[in-house]
Amino acid sequence: MKRFFVTTPIFYVNAKPHLGHAFTTILADAMTRFHRLMGEDAFFLTGTDEHGDKIAKASEEAGQSPKEYADQISGLFRALGPMLGAKPDHFIRTTDPEHIKTVQKVLQKVYETGDIYFGEYGGHYCFGCERFYTEKELVDGMCPDHKTRPEYIAEKNYFFRMSKYQAWLIEYINQNPDFIRPARYRNEVLSLLESGALEDLCISRPKSRLTWGIELPFDQDFVCYVWFDALLNYVSALNYPRGDKFKKFWPANHIVAKDILKPHAVFWPTMLKAAGIAPYQSLNVHGYWLVRDTKMSKSLGNVVEPKQMVDAYGTSAFRYFLLREMAFGSDASFTEEALVGRLNADLANDLGNLFNRVLAMTHKYFEGKVPSPAAESEEDAELKRLGRDAMRNFQGHFAEFRTARALESLWELVRALNKYIDTTAPWTLFKNKDKARLGTVMYMLLEHMRKIAVHLWPVMPEASVKMLEQLGCCFDLDKVNLAKEPEVWGLLDSGLTVLQSSNLFPRVEVPEPAPPAVVEAEAPKAKAKTKAQDGEPKKKAAPKAPEAPVGPAESIEFADFQKLDLRVGTVLSAAKHPDADKLLVVQVALGEPEPRQIVAGLADRFSPDDLVGKQVVVVANLAPRKLRGLMSQGMILVAKDAEVTRLLTAAGTVDDGGKVA
């Protein structure tokens, strides 16, 4: 039996769970369920990271001991899984005694091989990141993440000879293209490693400065650096080195957000190599969840509480939205309106409507019993071919963590079934008393609905089980073989009784958009007094005339519109223009032999990372021209108003080069 081990990063207990934590947990749970459906033995690990400067400081501010504070916040993360319909196999804490023992064993082992040494170091220490920065890593003297000026600290510490493994790591990444994915993050790590000598890693903190940590086994005056401690949870949870779980499940498939790429892509593999442990299988890196295209921040008041969304819309809709909305590796924007839009369009209109129509017709035409099919037509054969392709594509994308593409593939089948109802017109067959053909049509629909429900179990398990129950089935994981579902036919037994209707996904109202956050402006600087300020009455400004409503542009003929060649393409790369602050140089795949280079004035609204992997609409027949010295071969379309700019794109995934008509 194949095995699959997936982990979330262990979450730092300096704040309560938010949308990003929820997404990573749901993704790991979905991957675990998917691999179990594929007949594999899967293990899902999550937990909390509880040592270090930030926890010591946060607990002090809360008037608690570090352990009391960690217990409280860790409890919130432990409760996160059940709330999201996620079922981890193990929840680890870095304060667990067994984890502490494992960390000390690994430290001692690496120390005895000579890869840990004692030395003196002076560097710029960011307490938010809990790490030292070199001069070249700072941005205008500031920490690149926290935008604060680090404190210069010179002290004696223990160091891990990470530099020793630089050449090995470069070679290993190049030889194993799926080690870090998507490719943009693999390339980012290679660029980092190849840009200069890798420095050794400071892995201790003196107890004179910090006591909240795991004591070094070879020097009681120091505690372990939080990253060297935390990363080892992935093996300590499996009872490394002699535990049966370690022998059974290692190596791991890690899921992390892009902000912790370096520790997982550089620190962790070199630590494993030094300890004599096989490298992990894959590092799967996702982007940030933005809120209205802005990074979540407590100061802005735009942090999304997962519980509020689950309470309002249900676990199934919330899980579906997150897994459908975020393209693997790219940032995604969360709004409540977008969640409601997906719920209404995908779940209520497409899937819910399909179930309601077919269940009602089964009751009307066959007394609620699954009919026996007769001979199939070419139309039926074509639907089965489409269904096989949709399911194969779903499985292929899901196995590579591309859940958005996987769900879009499955929805091609959902939409095809709704269309099949319209073209076969069961009501006409019933009226014409063509019961044999009617039975075949209804069975085609019901069996495909069963297949869809089974495929959706990793995404929304609760709804999947209820859909199967509505079809007269029960879900039994031991009897499902998802890998065979595209090929097998007829697993829905004739004669089963189906429910009369489905109310899993009722439509909901779009919420009123929240008012923009009010930010106090900086106090204006004092100006020289004017005559009016010095005693003369100031004239009132004339009231501003209201702006005239913007009307439609001048009318054009259809022939004018036909001159535009609008095509959908995928952004392969994006970078800032070397000579223009507001321009991005974008490479777009349009189904042509070579990607198009488009110079777009989007840098004031989008970062390069925002665009990579997104599908965009391009004016493909715009005459090429040079912009600030670089050739531009088209135009990327956006929709914007005074405050928001959004990329114009297709509602679902479209083949590169697809024409807008």
**Residue pLDDT, tens place only, 139-175:** 888 888 778 888 888 889 999 999 999 999 999 999 9
Residues 365 and 475 in one domain: yes
pLDDT of 631 higher than 80: yes
Q: pLDDT category, 267, cuts 50, 70, 90? A: very high
Residues 470 and 339 in one domain: yes
Choose among 93, 90, 91, 114: nearest CA to 102: 93
Residues 377 and 470 in one domain: yes
Q: Give the CATH number, domain containing residue 354.
A: 1.10.730.10
| Residue 4 counted as domain residue | no
| Residue 584 counted as domain residue | yes
pLDDT of residue 513: 53
Residues 374 and 459 in one domain: yes
Between residues 533 and 631, which one has the greater pLDDT?
Answer: 631
pLDDT of residue 555: 62
pLDDT of residue 527: 35
Boundary (domain end) residue, out of 484, 508, 535: 484
Q: pLDDT category, 606, cuts 50, 70, 90? A: confident
**Residue pLDDT, tens place only, 297-309:** 766 777 889 999 9
Between residues 31 and 548, which one has the greater pLDDT?
Answer: 31
Residues 349 and 477 in one domain: yes
Paired strand residues for 126 = 131
pLDDT of residue 396: 98
Residues 372 and 474 in one domain: yes
Q: pLDDT category, 427, cuts 50, 70, 90? A: very high
| Cβ atoms within 10 Å of 276's Cβ, excluding its own | 11
Boundary (domain end) residue, out of 467, 484, 501: 484
576-586 average pLDDT score? 83
pLDDT of 58 higher than 50: yes
Residues 339 and 443 in one domain: yes
Q: How many residues are listed for the chain in this entry? A: 661
Q: Give the CATH number, domain containing residue 620.
A: 2.40.50.140
Between residues 106 and 523, which one has the greater pLDDT?
Answer: 106
**Residue pLDDT, tens place only, 175-209:** 999 999 999 999 999 999 999 889 999 999 999 99
pLDDT of residue 405: 97
- Residues 6 or more apart whose CB falls under 8 angstroms from that of 271 comprise 106, 110, 160, 228, 231, 232
| Residue 362 counted as domain residue | yes
pLDDT of residue 299: 62
Q: pLDDT category, 560, cuts 50, 70, 90? A: low
pLDDT of 549 higher than 50: no
Boundary (domain end) residue, out of 457, 484, 511: 484
Choose among 164, 406, 153, 157: nearest CA to 274: 164
| Residue 302 counted as domain residue | no
Residues 476 and 562 in one domain: no
DSSP string, 532-592: TTTTSPPPPPPPPPPPPPP-PPPP--HHHHHT--EEEEEEEEEEE-TT-TT-EEEEEE-SS
> Which residues are the active-site residues?
18, 21, 126, 129, 143, 146, 295, 298
User: CA-to-CA distance for 254 and 241, rounded, in angstroms?
Assistant: 19
pTM: 0.76
Residues 475 and 607 in one domain: no
Residues 460 and 599 in one domain: no
| Residue 160 counted as domain residue | no
Return the minimum-mean-pLDDT range out of 322-331, 534-543, 558-567. 534-543
**Residue pLDDT, tens place only, 406-418:** 999 999 999 999 9
Tell how strand 41-49 and strand 3-7 pair up.
Answer: parallel
Task: Give residue 615's domain range.
Answer: 558-659
Number of domains in the chain: 2
Q: What percent of the chain shows pLDDT beyond 70?
A: 90
274-279 average pLDDT score? 98
pLDDT of residue 402: 97
Residues 340 and 466 in one domain: yes
Q: pLDDT category, 533, cuts 50, 70, 90? A: very low
Average pLDDT, the chain: 89
Residues 457 and 355 in one domain: yes
322-341 average pLDDT score? 94
| Residue 275 counted as domain residue | no
| Residue 265 counted as domain residue | no
| Residue 571 counted as domain residue | yes
